[in-house]
Structure 1
Amino acid sequence: MMLKKWIILLIFLLPSVSKAQQAGVDSLLKILPTLKGRPRIDCLNEIAEHCLWTRSDSVAWYAQKALEESSAIHYQKGIDIAWFSIGTTKIVNLQNVEAERLMRRSLAAFEGVDAYHTGWSMLYLADLLSHQCKYDSSITLLEASIPILRIHDKPGGDGVARALTLLGLAYGAKGDYETALDRAQKSYTIRNKTGDNVSMACSLHNLGSLYGQVGDNETAFSYYRQALRLYQTVFEPFSLYADMARLFSNTEKLDSAHIYVNKALRISRGQYGDAVSGEIDLKEFHYDKAIPKFQKSMVVAGNNNGREDVVINLLNLSKAFIGKKQYQKALGYASEAYAIADAAGARPVIRDASGLLSDIYNGLGKADSAYHFLSLYTKLKSEVLNDQFKGKLFAFRSSVEDERQQAKIELLSKAKIISEQELKRESSITRILIGSIVVMLLLAIVIFRNITLSRRNVKLEAERFKKDLQVQQMENDSKETELLQKAERLEMKALRAQMNPHFIFNCLSSINRFILVNNREEASDYLTKFSRLIRLVLQNSEKTLITLEAELDMLRLYLEMERLRFRNAFNYRITFMNTIDSATIFIPPLLMQPFAENAIWHGLMHKEGVGDLEIALSIDGKILNCIITDNGLGRQQAAKLKLKSAGENKSMGMQITVDRLALLNQLSGENAFFDIEDILDDKGSNSGTKVILKMQYKNLMEAYE
């Protein structure tokens, strides 16, 4: 049971798993300073997840940074992934109580939303539950995680193999050795294809422990030695040393057990090394030396919510006090171990605890209780032996199948060799015949070449003259194209310059009217806003592209001025229909303002009551959609009233915008356009106007090319 935690710790605590993962971290660190907002948070979270495999001490820092920045902008996805990464650090640091809380939170947050993190949350939570001897719940989660991880794990991910490994351990703890070995073998098959030494060693380590549990010590040692060779290519495996020491101790090879437990203790003097050292002391009847080691190991395991390891230490403490004939102390430890194992359905441990309780009650002179537990022990021993036999039978069938497959491969290989030899003999004859034919063909080709050479020279001379004419024509066409493009760019620049006086004239006209009908303080406030707006317009109109954020700042300031001038006669709102990072989207300046101006002057200014102006933005691929809706008079009513201002504004602002869009399409090959629709009420009457503007935007990299 203790092996499980060793394997998980090995996977997590590796200083480096692959150069590719480290390279991934380095590339993410390079681009991090260039990002902001949600892309920056996503990058921080990705670095944290990569660091779990390269520098586990960095995970918490990057995850905490991502959590702080996500909370500041209420980015829920960033918050959930950051808490998930923090939860993994709790597992690494054996803070299992807090880790379980965070993994339950992650599972609730990701389920139905993020399949990748759902699968891994299930896997980590299952591991934590298994440490608490909640094997049925752990198995349920692991079985559910496998189909998810099989589809949604990252390329080269170890999720399915790790889930199978944990399933093998959980089934082994329950005594279902046949299923345990099946899952462990499948895990090794997957990892063997990756060629990664550490992951293959973990699976071999797991298989060795399972074979030890079914009593096949020779096979267990074989798997342990294979795992040791792979582990040692990366680091010294203190967990494997401890398990090899335990197996040597169980087979009464105490000298070898001492050698390997000392290797484990030299690397790490944690609870596991102490527990194995105590088991060897127990074999040598050094009870007073063994008891403090078990007690220390049990306290550490209990603090980490590791009931699996608590049970092992309880059984060992009971054995030590039985050896000292202190049956009353032994009874408490054995009873507690029995209760935990019984609740978990761990039949091998229930069997061991029943045997100890039988000995204890016999020592206390309580024959009825001793007989009861002896009967239970005998029954469970038979059942566990049957399970061990099934496990050995499964292993034998697997071995026979492997040998059959290997024999089939060897037979096919021999058949292939014989076939290749036959093909070589046939090909030798074929090559001689082909060689003769080739020689004859070469002679014919030489003769034919001499005949056609003179003709080809004449033809090449004619083609060269023709190409010279074509090149000259292409050069003339290229110069003509450059002149046309230059003329079109100058025309676009002229249109932007024309837009500035038109817009400034409208604003000055508004100020003049406002001063005539309002007091000085309000006029001064309006003039201040106007000066800010003019500064923005002059700054941005000289640029070919500006950010959507800058365009919206100008538009909001203009709308505030118009709303103030018309004494709050209309309300406006600017909304995003989907996720838009306005600071990284680049568009031509002053494209939206003429449509908003048209809606106010033509529709809202003459409406009775308070009007509404809505500007809704959304992104569809590389297209920015802008829908400008007002509930004003509508185009038909405006035409009937023959509003003078409407005609004048349309002839300037709208016409300039139409010309700009046409030139944009011509210069860049983009498809920018707008459409104006009438909004009809239930009676079929005009109740407003909708303008749909579509344009192709550029991202940050494209804007600065």
Structure 2
Amino acid sequence: MLAGTVRSWATPGDSAVYKRIDSLNEKAVRWVRFDKWGMPMDTSNCYAVEALRESRKIGYTHGIAQALACQAFVMNMHANDFPRAEQLARESLEWYDQTDDKKGITLAHYVLGFALFAQSRFDEALRHYDLAIAYANRSGAKLEAIYMLTLEGEAYRERGDYEKAFDILRHAARWAETIHVPDVAKKQYLSLAGLFIQIEDYSTAERYFHLGLGGKGPGQTDYWDLMVYAELLTRQHKFDSALYYYGKFDSAHLAPTILRSYLVSKGEYYLYRSEYATALPYLLKSLAYQRQMNDRNQMMRCLQDISRTYYGLHRDADAFRYAREGLQIAIQTDARQNIRDGCQQLYLLHDREGRTDSAYAYYRRYIVLKDSVLNDQTKGKFASYDYEQQIKLQNKEKQLLEVCLREEMLTKNLLILGIFVLLLLSLVYVWIIRLKRRNEAHRRKRAEDELEIQRLEGERSKAALQQRAKELEVQALRSQMNPHFIFNCLNAINRFILGHETEAASDYLTKFSRLMRMIMNHSRHSTITLADEIEVLQLYLDMERLRFKDAFDYRIDVEEDLDTEDIRIPPLLIQPFVENAVWHGLMHKEERGFLSIRMRLKDGALTCIIRDNGIGRKQAGLLKSKSAEKHKSMGLQITAERMALLTGSGEMQHFFQIDDLYEDTGLPAGTQVTLTIKIDQLAEEPVKPIS
């Protein structure tokens, strides 16, 4: 059909001319796609003009139609002359109607739809987008159909129909995922991000924005995506981050199609910061570009922004002028969210001028439109929630498939885990050797410190010498307590390994390493926060419960108004008493035991009550070995000495009291230890280790 139409206009000798015209049009299309984001338009336009001239000369219908469509595309993307683009696209369609080129007709409808969309003629634009999608489907052009569907969703978004926009963009995203072309799917994610910005769901917008970037940073993508991301940060009041991305634009070398959008975007950044005088030049210059190109969507945006800027500068006459013009265009285009914003701005201006009747009239219109737009936003949010739930369901299905693969690798993982545990045990063994050497170094250092104390006695006052001795002795006492934890923990790990309980061994070893790290960090300070001490207790008790097969439960209760981050106590002060309760009270209990730790603050003293329902001190004394008794005595003695040194008290046991508990029948019911720590007698800040 096309060949017959062409040859009826031309002579048989013109076949070489057809090929030349087709080649010129192909080059125009290639250059217009290459230049679409800001390169000079001269090259593609020159090819299209030459193709049109030669096509008209010989009456080549297809060549005329394609050349006109290319010129319209240039007017849209580069010159931003949307009325001229509309004229060229309509003429192109008239010529394409004489051909059967469905792809060409798709292009012409797309270009015409875009030109109408830019002029805020949404209904006409949507009609041509629908036709473009239909022709693309007939010709099997899935990529083009998805792209047109995306533009249709963005048109509904600009018109304020958020629910419809979301349905279309979601459909486009799903369709894009089926054709396995990553860049197409990423484009849909970016469009969804723009929609989430409109419904003010900024966290979800940011997530979809990063999905659309496909692992690239915002600075590694094109200018449009970079600008949208900066606007998203601005709306979240992350001004420093937004300014960083705006700084990547070289405004002196931007093409007009990008510059006009950059100017309004940067102006809104300063408007959000209430820097009105700085925002105004950007917005006025952008408006001049929008008027020249008749981009009514951006004109409404600029007019509203300029009115708000003048309102902030208290130049109400100028604010009125721009607000009225913006509202007039919004009413003409039926862009409800812009009508709402225009009514709100005029209500504020009339109210400030004292025109109560006019202010009330605009306020009523604003409230009605606000509820209408808010309803659309709510529908959009519900639709987005449904989409999110469907994505979660798909992820769960993927996870079920992954479980099957994990089961196949379970044996291999267990073997790797065993090797890993052995390696960790080797590292722990090496660490213990180093710790022993460190303790020896501590002992040598203690001797050196004692010599230093003797030397200082002749140079400093008696009070300063005593304080120095306290710090040195506290450090020495603290260094004696670390091995007690280490060897108990290693015994537990060894028992798990011998019992082939690799998972329990791994769990226990993780807690052990965390506890050791905390103890080493705490050893650098003479006091730590009560919160840190509680965390150590929880780690220790969790390890003991794991070690004794959940033979007991525990609870730590802290008085509500007790600030655990503000109170400081010596490290490992409460732990020895908790350990005695577990080992000598609960360990020999046949049924499940319970340990309670309660803390409260009264009259400048921290009271800690440690209560267990174990077998009691008397029965424990009959069962425990001499070595255990000796260790208990040593642990309590060291703790008492530490408190005596830190508080300056001569008594070592005045801060704790041990009471035996009995049932009504006279049988032992456990033990209760009450610790009373005078907070005001301890240093408020940690003392630095002596070098």
2:322 corresponds to 1:333: yes
2:399 is the counterpart of 1:395: no
| Structure 1 residues 241-296: Cα deviation after superposition (integer angstroms, max 9, x where no partner) | 22222222222222222222222456847122221221122222222221111110
Matched-pair contact (CA < 8 Å) for 1:275–1:294: yes
Question: Equivalent residues in 2 for 1:181-580 (5 A)?
Answer: 181-194=166-179, 196=181, 198-229=183-214, 236-265=221-250, 268=254, 270-411=259-400, 414=403
Among candidates 1, 19, 25, match of residue 45 of structure 1? 25
CA displacement, residues 329-384 of structure 1 (integer Å, 9 cap, x when unaligned):
11111111111111211111111111101001112221111011111111111121
Q: Does 1:126 align with 2:120?
A: no
Moved more, 348-357 or 223-232: 223-232
Show structure 2 runs of 5+ residues with no match. 1-13, 411-691
How far residue 117 of structure 1 moved from its aligned partner, in angstroms, is: 1.7
For 1:255 and 1:273, locate their aligned partners in 2 and report how far apart those are by CA, in whole Å.
Answer: 17
Alignment check: 8 A CA contact 1:261 1:276 kept: no
Compared with structure 1, are the counterparts of its residues 415 and 151 closer, same or farther at alpha carbon in structure 2 (3 Å cutoff)?
farther
Q: SS state of the match for residue 133, structure 1?
A: coil
| Counterparts of 1:60 and 1:393, CA distance in 2 | 45
**2:70 is the counterpart of 1:85:** yes
- How many residues get paired? 386
Post-superposition Cα deviations, 1:288-339, rounded to whole Å, max 9, x if no partner, equal 2211111100010111110111111100110011112222211111111111
Say whether the 8 Å CA contact 2:119–2:296 is kept in structure 1. yes
- Report the secondary structure of 1:249's partner residue: helix
Give 1:43 deviation, angstroms: 3.4
Partner of 1:574: none
Aligned-partner Cα distance in 2 for 1:119–1:396: 34
Unaligned runs of 5+ in 1: 1-33, 422-705
Q: What does residue 425 of structure 1 align with?
A: none
Q: 1:95 — aligned with what?
A: 81
Equivalent of 2:94 in 100, 108, 114: 108
What's 1:173 paired with? 158
Which deviates more from structure 2 when the two are superposed, residues 355-364 or residues 71-80? 71-80
Aligned-residue offset at 1:64: 2.7
**Residue 399 (structure 1) shift:** 1.4
Report the 3-state secondary structure (helix = DSSP H, G, I; strand = E; otherwise coil) of the residue aligned with 1:378.
helix
Under a length normalisation based on structure 1, what TM-score does the superposition of the two structures give? 0.51
Q: Is the 8 A contact 2:327 2:343 kept in 1?
A: yes
Q: Which amino acid aligns with 2:30?
A: H
Determine if contact 2:76/2:114 at 8 Å carries over to the other structure: no
With over 3 angstroms needed to count, the CA separation of the structure-2 counterparts of 1:405 and 1:223, relative to structure 1, is: closer
1:631-679 C-alpha deviation (Å, 9 max, x unpaired): xxxxxxxxxxxxxxxxxxxxxxxxxxxxxxxxxxxxxxxxxxxxxxxxx
* CA distance in 1 between partners of 2:275 and 2:34 (Å): 42
CA distance in 2 between partners of 1:235 and 1:254 (Å): 20
- 1:11-59 superposed Cα distances (whole Å, 9 cap, x missing partner): xxxxxxxxxxxxxxxxxxxxxxx97132332333233323333466542
Whole-angstrom distance in 2 between the partners of 1:256 and 1:220: 16
Cα distance change of structure 1 residues 201 and 232 upon mapping to structure 2, 3 Å threshold: farther
Contact 2:29/2:70 (<8 A) preserved: yes
In the aligned structure 2, how far is the partner of 1:415 from the partner of 1:75? 62
Distance change (3 Å), C-alpha of 1:231 and 1:418: closer
The code of the aligned residue for 1:142 comes to Y
**Deviation at 1:232?**
5.9
Specify the alignment match of 2:679 in structure 1. Answer: none
Quick one: which amino acid aligns to residue 120 of structure 1?
L
**Aligned mates of 2:126, 2:29 — CA distance in 1:** 25
Contact 2:218 2:225 in 1 (8 A): no
Per-residue Cα deviation, 1:542-595 (whole angstroms, up to 9, x for no partner) = xxxxxxxxxxxxxxxxxxxxxxxxxxxxxxxxxxxxxxxxxxxxxxxxxxxxxx
Q: Contact (CA 8 Å) 2:150, 2:188: kept in 1 or not?
A: yes
Q: Call closer, same or farther: CA 1:50–1:238 in 2, change over 3 Å.
A: closer
Asked whether the equivalents of residues 52 and 68 of structure 2 are also in contact (C-alpha less than 8 Å), the reply is yes
For the 8 Å contact 1:211–1:217, the answer to whether it is kept is yes
Change (3 A) 1:231 1:201: farther
| Compared CA separation, residues 198 and 302, structure 1 to 2 (3 A) | farther
329-338 or 185-194, larger mean C-alpha shift: 185-194
* d(CA) in 1 for partners of 2:64, 2:248: 43
1:69 aligns with 2:49: no
- Contact 2:146 2:176 survives alignment (8 Å): yes
Distance 1:75 1:112 in 2: 11
Question: Cα distance 1:118–1:362, how it changes in 2: closer, same or farther (>3 A)?
Answer: same
Q: Residues 236 and 389 (structure 1 numbering): CA distance in 2 closer, same or farther, change over 3 Å?
A: same
The one-letter code of the counterpart of 1:123 is Y
Secondary structure of residue in 2 paired with 1:158: helix
